[in-house]
Structure formats: structure tokens, C-alpha cells
Structure 1
């Protein structure tokens, strides 16, 4: 018997977007779910739209606002474009917004701050 589950799909709260620029060009990347914690990153069962991420060893991990990290997690890759339900422990693909405009104050991450140096940033304009 197959394992069945019901899912509801939606884009989530995208009030963090500062414009429509870039949303049609999100690229698919893979989330390293082992780098995220349920209580911090997806307490409601999903990684919320707008979550800032870094790319480490080819996988998306939570962005670390302390730019001096040795893992590369302090180099912003972009933001998860839509809510991503977390089911199990397998890594999974997700759309990544890596250019456009983002409202810093609306990013769903308590300590988010736009990168201060160009080497830690993307082509996103923060407003």
C-alpha cells in the first residue's frame, strides 16, 4: 500500500519581494535539509518563502549573517522563492530567487541583514 498524504500548495507570504523583477527566472537548487532545524527554520512544517540561504558544497543551507564564517554560509546565494514543505530527511529541490528587489524588513528571518560587502552578496537590491 502506498503512503498517501494530502498537500496544500501555495506560494506563501511574498511580501518580502520588492518588485516582480527576477521571479520568472528563479533557478532550481537543492536544499540540504540536514542543515536546517525544525524549531528554528520550519516550525510550521515548511521553510517559508523569502528565507535567505547560502550555497555550500553545491547545496542550499541557512544563510549566516556573520559574514566571517569558514563554511561559506555567510555568502548569500539568494532567497527561497515559495514555501517549501519539509517531509522526511531527504534533500529536495526548491526555487531560488538570486536577483531582483527584496524588502529587508519583510524577510522571514529574525536577524537578517543585507550583506555589507559585495563578495558576500548577490545581484539582489535590498530596500
Structure 2
């Protein structure tokens, strides 16, 4: 008897995007799965990441030297230790709609503008 399984694919909840700017320029990077806490087997769209090393992307902590990015689409976590994923590197982010708690960095590394949230500010770029 064959062992069938069903999977659905999609972008996930993307209400955190403040515009379409930057979407077509998302860069493919490698997520280090063990560094994340998947929800229902998925790293959610809008998860903030440190994209300073595109070969080993981990969650964003705000530490010196990090480069802020956001996972653009939901990423199903399988048995692999690493998965390729599109990372948004600039754009407008609706802080209140991110899938995790997020504190806007005092000096925003990257090219983001933030809207919503208690301390929304313009980032390093026009968005």
C-alpha cells in the first residue's frame, strides 16, 4: 500500500507587507532550520532574520553586525537541516502584522521602513 501524504503550498499570511516594493528583489538564502521555532511545521512569512550570511540565515536578534531581513513566504520544515527561502531585504513592514513579537531596531540595519507598532519609524531606506 503506498504511503500518500498531502501538502499545500502558498505564500502564507502576508499582511505584514506594507507594499509590493522589494518583493521581486527578494534574495534566496539558506535557513538554518534548527535555529528557528516552527509553528505547525512552518517558518512563517514575516519572520525577522539575520541575513548577513546568506548561507546560514538565523533569527534576527538585533546584535551588532546583523543584517535585517524577513522571510517572504511560509517555509515548510521537513527533515532537512537547511532550506532555501526568499528573504525580503528592503521594503515597508507593518510591525503589528508580523507573526512574532518584534522590536524595531534603534538604528535599523537594512533598508526598511516600519509602520504600525508603538515605535514605528522610517528605516534606512525609502522602502
Give the TM-score normalised by the residue count of structure 1. Answer: 0.79
Counterpart of 1:14 in structure 2 is 14
Which residue matches 2:124? Answer: none
Structure 1 residue aligned with 2:106, among 113, 116, 119? 116
Give 1 or 2: higher helix fraction.
Answer: 1
Per-residue displacement from partner, 1:48-95 (whole Å, max 9, x unpaired)? 000000136531101114x36xxx5xx243100000000013201000
C-alpha change, 1:32 and 1:3, in structure 2 (3 Å) is farther
Higher relative contact order (CA 8 A, sep 6+): 1
Offset from partner CA, 1:86-107 (integer Å, 9 cap, x none): 0013201000001110011111
Question: What root-mean-square deviation, in Å, do the aligned CA atoms of Structure 1 and Structure 2 show?
Answer: 2.1
- Structure 2: which 5+ runs fail to align? 116-127
SS at match of 2:96: helix
- The answer to whether the 8 A contact 2:45-2:70 is kept is yes
Unaligned 5+ runs, structure 1 = none
For the 8 Å contact 2:48–2:59, the answer to whether it is kept is: yes
Deviations 1:15-41 (Å, cap 9, x if unpaired)?
Answer: 0000110111111000011212xxxx2
Decide which of 42, 50, 57 is 1:46's aligned counterpart.
Answer: 42
Assess if the C-alpha contact under 8 Å between 1:16 and 1:107 holds in 2: yes
Give the corresponding residue for 1:33.
33
1:3 shift after superposition: 7.4
Give the total of aligned pairs: 114
Tell me the equivalent position of 1:125: 113
Paired residues of 2:49 and 2:57 also in contact (CA < 8 A):
yes
Cα distance 1:6–1:113, how it changes in 2: closer, same or farther (>3 A)? same
